[in-house]
Structure 1
Amino acid sequence: MSQPSIDQQLLWDVETARAYDTPGEGMFAPEVIGPTVAALADLAEGGPAVELAVGTGRVAIPLVEAGVPVVGVELSHAMIARLREKIDDERLPVVQGDMTTTRVGEGFALVYLVFNTISNLLTQDEQVACVRNAARHLRPGGRFVVELWVPQLRALPAGHGATVEVSEPGYLLVDTYDALRQLVVSHHVGFDPDLGGGREARITRSPHRYAWPSELDLMARLAGLELEHRWADWDRSTFTADSRSHVSVYRLP
């Protein structure tokens, strides 16, 4: 069975880039951004960093403001344009390209991927290539950091292929699973929570390939990296069998 072909420029278009930033809320909330930036700054240990798939600069901009030099890699024209509305190229250089192959130099203290970004690569080969590309940027002792969700296959009802991940007024997130290919499609449903507000809803979908923590560890080993830490979140809490996500820190010997 062939893997799906996704045009990333269409997936991450102008409309998506405009809607991506939610200042002060969601993944832009201070309680989310603060621990993320603090952990990454500590891991960089004063050295320069690379963010793969930098997007609109959600993490890179506050990390730069915290004193860590960052270079971004980003494929989407629209996401780069949105980032440039907030910060100039001198303070945050960005190279347009694919995170599996694009090189921006070497000798970096830190390379990182946040908010499930590696799952945007829809094959195992692409994910392995991404990890290897990250490792090539690092100096000895440098770190590669990945934030990724833990697949909730245990939550799948018998005979069903979907889970409801978020249910709140005006928004539903439903994930449908193809367990044979480790593919998930996230269905984001927005609607007026007032029943008198009409019957229309807006649906957007995004495809992902999930990888188990152990699979990610093997990818890292193939790239010459060693697991240093695994946390349940950026607050560095303990990762357990019940954790819904993880932050994994790998180090180049």
Structure 2
Amino acid sequence: MDETNTNTDAGTAADGAARVVAAVLAGHQRLRTLLDGLTEAAAHEPSALPGWSRAHVLAHIGGVGSALARQARFAMRGELVEVYDGGRPTRDAAIEAGAKRSADELRHTVTEALTEAEGAFTAVGPRDWERPVRYRDGQVRGVLLCWWRELEIHTADALLGYGPGDWLRDFCAHALDFLAPRAPLETRLTLEATDGPERRAYGSGEPLTVRGRLTDLTAWLAGRAPTGPLDSDPAPLPDLRPWP
């Protein structure tokens, strides 16, 4: 094995993780600022997710932030733990319970989770991103990327003044790659950004091209409402497959 190439690959991966950590920390500060003015009435208004109030979304951010931080923290000890003790039922019950909390309690829950995530991910060294975790039987780097997606998408879902139209191009590029399995079967789906050079093609079969701003393409593939129009040719926008 070429040790020089191995070291270069490790360095490139660490550099990429460092950029994601920086974006995540910026997202933490943004969310803290957005929560400063949260009122009781606003906490329990509808979110962008059907059937979920803003409190549901914030409770989920707090829960998933702590859960993913724990994945990284235990990985640094060489230990594997489940994402949620008790699995999906425990996770869902915690969201429902959290949705009944006051605005101050929700703010505290979220900010505590953000602090926990900051501590966990900034403690990961350049050579530690490949440590194994239980999350998808993957690596710490995958946990970081998951938290980036959860943070960005659910901050937008909370309707606090930050939406899909504010997503950075780097985040959109990552999300489009991650969400590729949502492309419909038997379709050659091509996404073309009208505001930049980005282009993604998924699958094989009947060709279908969807054009729009990069953030709108990303929002659509993520199952969120685009803020601008999408042009679909030669057929209407297709139904998407489940979240990967």
TM-score of the superposed pair, with normalisation by structure 2: 0.27
TM-score of the superposed pair, with normalisation by structure 1: 0.27
Give the number of the structure whose residues are more often helix, by fraction: 2
Give the number of the structure whose residues are more often strand, by fraction: 1
